Amino acid sequence: MNERIKPIVMPKWGLSMSEGKVTGWLKPAGTRVSVGDEIVEVETDKIAGVVEANEAGTLRRVIGAPDTIYPVKALIGVIADDDVPDADIDAYVAEYATHAAEEDDAQEAGPRYEFVETPAGRLRYARRGEGEPSVILIHGFGGDLDNWLFNIDALAEAGTVYALDLPGHGQSDKTVQEASLAGLSAAVTGFMDALGIASAHLVGHSMGGAVAARTALDHPDRVASVTLIGSAGLGEEINSGYTDGFVAAASRRDLKPVLEQLFHDPATVTRQLVDDLLKYKRLDGVDAALTALAAALFAGGRQSAVLAEALKATETPVLVIWGESDQVIPATHAGVLGTRARAEIISEAGHMVQMEKANRVNELMLAHIRT
Amino acid sequence: MTNNPFPLSRDQLLAAYRTMRTIRDFEERLHVEFAKGDIPGFVHLYAGEEACAAGIMMHLTDIDRIASTHRGHGHCIAKGVDVHEMMGEIYGKSTGACRGKGGSMHIADLSKGMMGANGILGAGAPLICGAGLAAKFRGDGGVGITFFGDGASNQGTVLESMNLAAIWNLPVIFVVENNGYAESTSVEYATAVDSYVDRAAGFGLPGVTVDGTDFFAVYEAAGEIVRRAREGGGPALLECKTVRFFGHFEGDAQTYKAKGENDFNRANRDCLKIFASRVTAAGVVSEAEIALVDREVASLIDAAVESAKGAPLPTPRELLTDVYVAY
Amino acid sequence: MARKISYKQAINEALDLEMRRDPTVIVLGEDIVGGAGAPGEIDAWGGVLGVTKGLHAKHGNRLMDTPLSESAYIGAAIGAAACGMRPVAELMFLDFMGVCFDQILNQAAKFKYMFGGKAKTPVVIRAMVGAGFRAAAQHSQMLTPMFTHVPGLKVVCPSNAYDAKGLLIQSIRDDDPVIFCEHKALYGAECDVPEESYAIPFAEANIVREGKDVTIVSYGLTVHRALDAAEKLAKSGVQAEVIDLRTLSPIDWDTVVESVENTGRLVVVDEANPRCSIASDVASYVAQNAFGALKAAPQMVTAPHTPVPFSPVLEDLYIPSADAIAAAVNKTTARALAA
């Protein structure tokens, strides 16, 4: 294997993804690319996304044909410098298939999800990586641990990463014992207790950000840092059209336009994403949980808990990340902590910035966790 | 005061008479009004059979359920359905028991345990098994009574229901109101057994035949059967041999009846006359008290007809409502 | 959490969960327990194909074997529903409607309307539908149109285990009478089904495959045939959108019309006989309401206008095939399917 030849493969976005469809190349063969450049659009049955360059070089081969489905890890393109001979690249491509197949089984061996009993009920979580530090990913209102599917593996380079489903969400118990930030925060610390995690970096998205902030305020000794992504808890405004619409939607027709507000590019919302959320929303207890949380946290289109001033008074390191075109919580909230936090506003991204600009968000989070 | 030889108090006797008189006047008046052409569709009159409804229903409360027939006005009145609402329904008015959407053949009031008159002969028997099943699961002591005529007695639904009620020991009573005619066809022609008691026996049910023009015979037989069913003793059959003063429906020339048959029945087998003469002869109820009930009922029926005639028709939107609870 | 279970297990689980949740839910039918009064085992059958097996041990006498007496026990279920229970009656084969249809047509379906809105009849009648079992003319019919024709009834026909569970739970919680049609050829079909209770609302069709060239509308077993056809068509460059109606009354017209507005072509696949069928209903609705969007005449792929034959070679011809569906699509696209 020529180490100067770098593969572009069909990514694995989340554990359930087994294949993806190349929908179009954003860069033609022969283009020079830098790390982070968007190269090729891929659609899974759950979500549409963009594969970014992990290496700099020239896009020497475009292999994945548009509108064609490839298994995860299949070679869909090749990056190499201009001086690598074509013959070497052809040999690399020819050899690649067998190479990929060998790696397959080991990665699938671990369980997709685990469950743990906590005082807040039975919670589902995913775990990646090992060793210190611990990182806990906390999704937002109506979300679940799959909201981190582009992040969890990347963060596992830094330590042990946990992504949990909050009570009332995902596949955790649907009863929310206390529909408040304090109640959700207690669920997070209960989760930490149950898994023997003394202290962790908390990463929260949207409502999960407010939960992370609440936890940092109440248990500064257990929170090494917080990362707030498109976070609640930093200002009053919130788009009630989104929160109320999400609670009320009972059909694909109602839910799809609501979900489209989550993304900079509404085409990201696939049929399967809508169907999966509908399947969740139909479960007994979910409607009651979401209704109670929305009433407690976002009644009348105002956030009931603004923690910005309190957070400023702590010493916990804070990173704030926002998608510039966030339609749920305005990106202006990113600056409210002033010099107290590093704030990054990312263009061409909406509320689900950690999915839409995963590479950039992962970079920022890794740097934050490692300092 | 004289001794009361009847199983009912004076007030109860007057109540029974009032029920029968209300049914009679309701039906006699419909006969007149129908001929004027003001009443849509068709009506099947119960006149002559009042003692059956009154004698049985006096043992029931609102937790007990009945499934009635196309000839259901008497059952409705005896089960406590409001006479004004019934009349409104028969005139197709929005004030009707079913807001004008059911008509004579579908008057129902579930709050009174009246599960509906029914245009399908024999259809009430399976339904009342369901009522019995519900009562059994709830353990509320309720009973279900299905009425059917000698005609519908030959429906498979009735026969299947007798078997089902028997094997599940349901608190269900099958009442055959045998008025001798299935529409125009005689019971002798259409029914293979001489006695419905024999038919009940074929399903392992106790059966009793009574003179349906004798209120007291019906009342006493029904009392025993209802008590038994309420106590978990299971289903039974009661045959009431009765008479139908009018035709199958209004407009029926009744040429299939014997000459003078209706006159004979009115003279000799009128359950109201029989009842009144017995209670007055015994000195328990006075003729004046009977006459007072007659006057009160007459004015009730007058008022019901007046208000039905003057009541508003259903609005066009009613066409599309009440098909589903939610659709 | 979700795990793979069969359509049959999903139905069993829905009944179990609803019986636990609501004490007014009772289940009755022929041999649904099996062995009643017989000297051998109780729960000997759990239904003729074992769908209700094991429920008797959990819920005892709330499951009742009935005599072979459909008029009586279907009527009793309807009567009990009108008296506050939520009975689930199993009719075994929907073909047996012939012996109890009055109770469904003239009683359950009519109470609410003819009693002026004062009644409700929350009964579910479960029954097997469909061909493919070599069960011949009286145990194989797709009689769904006979029920969709009747105002007051709701008609449901799931195509997979997830839908079967969620639609049955909705059917039991629903306050109107529901005819719940179970395709016997799908009983073994597995898919991911959550362990929890969930209800799928009625009148919400499922787009099981997206495509831009033609809309294929179906329900029950033939959804899978339509998907097979769509796979074949994709190889020749035709992208078919496949819609599973899931509920036939009420029906999700909006999803059908929206799809046809995008594709301009409609093929309706129905295992019922063609006249006055779900297929003709959908085709006529689209012709009436989305005519301007149509680029070609709507096509229907249905069973022929015959009883269901016995001999396997004939029965296989009777059920709409993927090839017949693909051929109908090609009529609308006027493009030949690649060999």
The answer on C184 and C50 residing in a single domain is yes
B98 inside 8 A of chain C by CB: yes
Structural domain contains residue C256: yes
Q: Is A18 helix (H, G, I), strand (E, B) or coil?
A: coil
Cα A288 from chain centre: 25
Domain boundary among C146, C168, C194: C194
Backbone Cα Rg of chain A: 21
Q: Mark yes or no for CB contact C79/B96 under 8 Å.
A: no
Structural domain contains residue C275: yes
* Chains A, C in contact, 3 or more Cβ pairs below 8 Å: yes
Note the pLDDT of residue A1.
57
Structural domain contains residue C291: yes
What span, in angstroms and rounded, lies between the C-alpha atoms of B293 and B126? 37
The answer on C118 and C230 residing in a single domain is no
Question: What's the CA angle centered on C10, arms C217 and C194, to 5 degrees?
Answer: 90
DSSP string, A54-102: SS-EEEEEE-SPTTEEEETT-EEEEEE-TTS-HHHHHHHHHHHHHHHHH
**A307-335 per-position pLDDT tens digit:** 999 999 999 999 999 999 999 999 999 99
**C251-295 per-position pLDDT tens digit:** 999 999 999 999 999 999 999 999 999 999 999 999 999 999 999
* The two three-digit tokens of residue A279, written as one number: 């399947």
Q: Which of B116, B131, B163 sits opposite C80 (nearest CB)?
A: B131
Domain boundary among C134, C163, C194: C194
**CATH code at C217?**
3.40.50.920
Query: Known catalytic residues of C?
Result: 139
Chain A residues bordering chain C (beta-carbon distance below 8 Å): 113, 115, 124, 171, 174, 250-253, 271, 275, 279, 282-285
Full-model pTM? 0.91
Number of domains in chain A: 2
Structural domain containing residue A314: 114-370
What span, in angstroms and rounded, lies between the C-alpha atoms of C76 and B202? 21
In which band, very low, low, confident or very high, does the pLDDT at A206 lie, cut at 50, 70 and 90?
very high
**C78-121 per-position pLDDT tens digit:** 999 999 999 999 999 999 999 999 999 999 999 999 999 999 99
Where along chain B do its domains lie?
10-312
Using DSSP bridges, classify how beta strands B172-178 and B144-149 pair: parallel, antiparallel or unpaired: parallel
Domain boundary among A82, A103, A124: A103
Under a CB-based contact definition with an 8 Å cutoff, are residues C87 and C45 in contact? no
| Chain C: residue whose CA lies nearest to B155 | C71
By percentage, how much of chain A surpasses pLDDT 90? 69
Place of tokens 């792929």: C301
User: Minimal Cα–Cα distance from C93 to chain B, Å?
Assistant: 19
Residues 6+ apart with CB under 8 A from A194: A116, A117, A118
Structural domain contains residue A301: yes
Under a CB-based contact definition with an 8 Å cutoff, are residues C120 and C176 in contact? yes
Structural domain contains residue C314: yes
**CATH code at A97?**
2.40.50.100
Q: Tell me which H or E stretch contains C169.
A: helix C161-173
User: Minimal Cα–Cα distance from B222 to chain C, Å?
Assistant: 22
Under a CB-based contact definition with an 8 Å cutoff, are residues A7 and A75 in contact? yes
The answer on C105 and C49 residing in a single domain is yes
C73: chain B residues, CB-CB within 8 Å: 126, 129, 164
The answer on C329 and C274 residing in a single domain is yes
DSSP string, B108-167: -BGGGTB----SSTTTHHHHHHHHHHHHHHHT----EEEEEETTGGGSHHHHHHHHHHHH
Domain boundary among A81, A103, A125: A103
* The two three-digit tokens of residue C168, written as one number: 């049955």
The answer on A239 and A343 residing in a single domain is yes
Q: Mark yes or no for CB contact C176/B134 under 8 Å.
A: no
**C111-126 per-position pLDDT tens digit:** 999 999 999 999 999 9
The answer on C162 and C31 residing in a single domain is yes
For helices A207-218 and A286-298, the axis angle rounded to 10 degrees is: 70
Domain boundary among A103, A132, A153: A103
A45: chain C residues, CB-CB within 8 Å: none
Structural domain contains residue C70: yes
Interface with C, mutate which of B137, B140, B154, B315 (most C CBs under 10 A): B137
Place of tokens 């050899």: A95
The answer on A224 and A157 residing in a single domain is yes
* The two three-digit tokens of residue C306, written as one number: 């015959």
**C157-189 per-position pLDDT tens digit:** 999 999 999 999 999 999 999 999 999 999 999
Structural domain contains residue C33: yes
Structural domain contains residue C245: yes
The answer on C133 and C65 residing in a single domain is yes
Structural domain contains residue A89: yes
Q: Is the four-CA dihedral A62, A66, A68, A73 of positive or negative sign?
A: positive
The mean of the pLDDT values for chain C is 96
- Kindly report the number of other CB atoms within 10 A of residue B295's CB atom: 10
The answer on C212 and C318 residing in a single domain is yes
B91: chain C residues, CB-CB within 8 Å: none
The answer on C242 and C175 residing in a single domain is no
Structural domain contains residue A109: no
Q: Report whether pLDDT(B141) > 80.
A: yes
Interface with B, mutate which of C101, C113, C150 (most B CBs under 10 A): C113
Structural domain contains residue A359: yes
Type of residue found at B182: A
The answer on C244 and C176 residing in a single domain is no
* The two three-digit tokens of residue C75, written as one number: 């009527």
The answer on C135 and C16 residing in a single domain is yes
The answer on C186 and C210 residing in a single domain is no
Q: Tell me which H or E stretch contains C86.
A: strand C86-93
Q: What are the backbone angles phi and psi of residue A291, rounded to the nearest 5°?
A: -60, -45
Q: Which of B:161-190 have CB within 8 Å of C?
A: 161, 163-164, 167-168
| ipTM summary value | 0.96
Q: Is A342 helix (H, G, I), strand (E, B) or coil?
A: strand
Chains with at least 3 CB pairs less than 8 angstroms from chain A: C
Q: Which of A124, A174, A282 sits opposite C166 (nearest CB)?
A: A282
The answer on C139 and C41 residing in a single domain is yes
User: Minimal Cα–Cα distance from A331 to chain C, Å?
Assistant: 34
Interface with A, mutate which of C22, C170, C198, C256 (most A CBs under 10 A): C198
- Kindly report the number of other CB atoms within 10 A of residue C54's CB atom: 13
**CATH code at A258?**
3.40.50.1820
Structural domain containing residue C258: 206-333
What span, in angstroms and rounded, lies between the C-alpha atoms of B34 and B250? 7
Residues 6+ apart with CB under 8 A from C188: C6, C7, C8
Q: Report whether pLDDT(C339) > 50.
A: no
**C216-254 per-position pLDDT tens digit:** 999 999 999 999 999 999 999 999 999 999 999 999 999
Structural domain contains residue A278: yes
The answer on A145 and A208 residing in a single domain is yes
A124: chain C residues, CB-CB within 8 Å: 1
pLDDT higher for B134 or A46?
A: B134
Q: Mark yes or no for CB contact B110/C82 under 8 Å.
A: yes
Structural domain contains residue A153: yes
Structural domain contains residue A108: no
Note the pLDDT of residue C338.
43
Number of domains in chain C: 2
**Nearest in space to B90 (alpha carbons), one of B109, B113, B107, B77:** B107
Architecture of the B10-312 domain:
3-Layer(aba) Sandwich (3.40)
